[in-house]
Structures are given as C-alpha cells and as structure tokens.
Amino acid sequence: MGDPVTLIAQWLNGLLSGWGLAPGLVTLILIVIGVVVLATIALVIDIFMVWLERKFVARFQDRIGPNRLGPFGLVQPLADVIKLLIKEDITPFGADKIVYNIAPIMALATVLLLWAVLPFSATTYGTNLNVGVLYIVAVGAISTLGIIMAGWSSNNKYALIGAFRTVAQMVSYEVPMVIALLVPVILARSMGLKDIVDEQVIWFIVAAPIAAILVFVTNIAELGRAPFDLVEAESEIVAGFHIEYTGMKFGLFYAGELLHALTIGGIFSALFLGGWRGPGAETYPILGIFWFFLKMFFMYWVIAWVKYTFPRIRIDQMLNFNWKFLTPLALVVLVVTAILDKVLPHEPLWVYSLGMLAANLVIAWVTLQILRSRARKERQRVAEPGPIARPPEANPSTTQASTTPQV
C-alpha cells in the first residue's frame, strides 16, 4: 500500500509535467500547493483547538463546557470566529498604527512557520531542514518579538509592563531551552527533525529524560502559559500585551497561543517521543500521521494540565528558577551526555539508552538532594525569629521601658 500523500504528489507532478511546464516551475507549484495545504490544515485545527481548550478547562474545573451548538458544542468555535469577524476594531488613541497592526499577524505567522519542519510521518513532512532545531529556536524568537511589538505599540502602561516581562522571561528561558535541545542533537547527530525521529528506535525520552523535562518546562515559559503567564497576568496587569486588542486582532493572538501550544507538543513528540513511530508505522506510513497527531494532542493535553494545575509564579521566582536552577542543570546534563556518549558502547542500543537513563537518574537524585538541603536551610531561616520579627516581650529591657499599655 502506497502512501497517499506521496501518490498525490506524484500524480500532480505527472499532470503538470504533462501540460508541458518546465520541471523547475512544476517544483515551484508543488511547493506552493504544499505550503497552502499545510497552513490550511494548521488553521482549521487551530479553530477547533478553541473548542478543545474550552472543553479541557471545563473538565479540569469540573464543568461541562460548550455543549449547545452542534454535537458536543463542536460548532461553537465557528460561531466565535463569526463573532470576532463582525466585531468593531478599535485602535487606541496614540498607538503606533503600523507596529500595532503587524504584531498579531506576526504572532500567528511565526507559529505557522514552525509547521514547515514538523515530521508528520516517514514520508509526509514539509521539509527536512538540516538545521531544523536551530530553525525552531529562531522562529520561536520571532514570535517573542511579536509580543514585544504588541505591548510597546499599544500606548498602554499595562501592555508595556507585559512587554517588559516578556523580554525578561523569553530571553531568560531561551538559554536552558537551547542547551537542552543540544542533547537530542548529540544523540541523533543531526539537527533535522526527520533525521532525529529516524534515529529514535528507542525513544529519546528514555536516554534523556531530564533534557526532555527541561525542554518541556522552558517551552511552556516561552509560550507564556501558566504557571509562567506573568506576561498577561490578569490580576496584576489586566491582560498584559494584548489589552488594547479587540475583535480578530485579539483572536489572532489567542489562536496563535493555542496553535503554539499544540506545535510545541508536536516538536516535543518529534524530539523525545519518537515522532511518527508506533505499531505499524514502518509498513504503513499513513499510520505514522495518526501516531504523530496522537502524541501531539497528548502533549497538548499535558500542557493544558500544567496550566490549570499550577498557580502563577512571581517575576523574581521566575528568574531565579531559570538562572539558578534550569540553566546549571541543563549545562550539567549536556556535559554528562557528551562524555557518556563517547564512553558507552553504541552497539546494543538498549545498553546505551539504559546507561544514559542511569546517568540521568543519578543527576536527578543529586539535584533533589541539593534542593532538599537548601529547602531545609531555608525553612530554618524562616522558622527562627530574626531581630525584626522578634516580639517585644522576648526582650525584658523593652518590656520594662514601655510603660504605656500596648494596643
């Protein structure tokens, strides 16, 4: 059984060549068709992500969620889109109009660009870029720029504070993310996402669990979702960077965030969960697409789970967590992986993977011990009263000196 996507591509190729078009032009047309189809699929999924997200929130909060329009409320997102389209678009007084209008376009377009390198199956993928991982990091940085542009151009102080926090957060969390991304690159010896999936006979989450957790956490931070959503903290800065956006412009930010969450799930499953690998995916590549989307939506569910479980953290906690915990841990994992890769035998793959896993477990145990001892010290420091916190009765001289009764 052939792969339908390849078959369609071959059929189109034959059809266009049959019309007497030059081979270069045929390739160009095929690429344009591929891009349009890929982006359309992403956007259609995105519309239904709104429904999925609302259902997830509802379930996590013990509610039912949208269930009125259509079966299971599936038509609800379409109604939402129509509402957003016919809503009045308000540009705030004094806003930088060009930047203000480009920002939401950038927020969604950069997420779409990430779909170019996702390997959906062994034969179906946009492109197997040989610098794929670097491309993901670079495009992710542009989406940060979109948020900064939105916050800066809105002429609103809440939005500006949101943009400030974005700078601090995105810039910081990129460091451990890039370092942790080096680990799967070392294991696969390639930066192409398809090559990385091809190397994963045993999923990389076995050989590099700590790097997987680091990539997951830093990506949530890069996404700006809870518990790292101080970019748009409702209780402090109302809505942060998108406070002045209405109608479809706000919709684009919202859609961009949802699609980004799903795309991060896809990138994570390609890097650590074996991408399209699953029962029967080698013989029938079309099954690979099913497995890939299953893993992608599972990771998206985990991201939603994290979002609706943890409270928001403070900005100083956010920076401390990054620079004093994630970055050193990522560096240690990278060095240990690099050295062990040369020391461990590569031939029986399970020996290599288990060796890596054992090393990761040792690192995790040592890290937990260090954290535990620090927490113990911190608890002692808080428990014993300091000079300011001491009540006046504890010092006899002050109690005698105070003659007037205390209220």
Q: Is the dihedral of CA 27, 194, 253, 178 positive or negative?
A: negative
In the complex with another protein, the residue whose CB is nearer, 4 or 328, is: 328
- 148 or 296: CB nearest another protein: 148
CA–CA separation, 93 vs 288, rounded Å?
Answer: 51
Cα distance between the two ends of the chain: 87
Euclidean distance between CA atoms 208 and 329, whole angstroms: 13
Q: Which is nearer to another protein, 32 or 368 (CB)?
A: 32
Smaller CB distance to another protein: residue 167 or 354? Answer: 167
Q: Helix-strand-coil percent breakdown of the chain, rounded to 5?
A: 75, 0, 25
- How many angstroms separate the CA atoms of 161 and 148, rounded? 10
CB atoms within 10 A of CB 101: 15
Tokens found for residue 98? 């060009």
Least distance to another protein from the beta carbon of 331, Å? 6
Find out whether 228 and 353 touch, Cβ atoms under 8 Å.
no
Element (H or E) spanning 52, and its range? Answer: helix 23-60
Least distance (Å) from another protein to the CB of residue 200? 16
Q: Which two tokens stand for residue 396?
A: 């006899």
CB of 131 to another protein, least distance (A): 8
For the bound state, the minimum distance from the C-beta of residue 314 to another protein, rounded and expressed in Å, comes to: 9
Residue 392 CB, shortest distance to another protein, in Å, is 30
Residue nearer to another protein on the CB measure, 118 or 281? 118
Beta strands per DSSP E along 232-356? none
64/121 Cα distance (integer angstroms): 34
**Smaller CB distance to another protein: residue 69 or 315?**
315
Residue closer to another protein (CB basis): 57 or 319: 319
- The structure tokens listed for 148 are 């900064």
Closer residue to another protein, CB minimum distance, 123 or 154: 154
DSSP state of 70: S
Least gap, CB of 123 to another protein (angstroms): 15
Q: Please, is 369 exposed, middle or buried when counting C-beta atoms within 10 Å of its C-beta (0-12, 13-18, 19+)?
A: exposed
Nearest to another protein of 76, 322 (CB atom):
322
How far apart are alpha carbons 127 and 115 in whole angstroms? 9
**Cβ of residue 406: shortest distance to another protein, in angstroms?**
34
SS3 323: helix
Q: Contact, 84 vs 255, CB < 8 A?
A: no
Both structure tokens of 72: 């299971």
Name the minimum Å distance from CB 359 to another protein. 15
Minimum distance, C-beta of residue 319 to another protein, in the bound complex (Å): 5
- For residue 66, is the peptide bond before it cis, meaning its omega torsion is within 30 degrees of 0? no
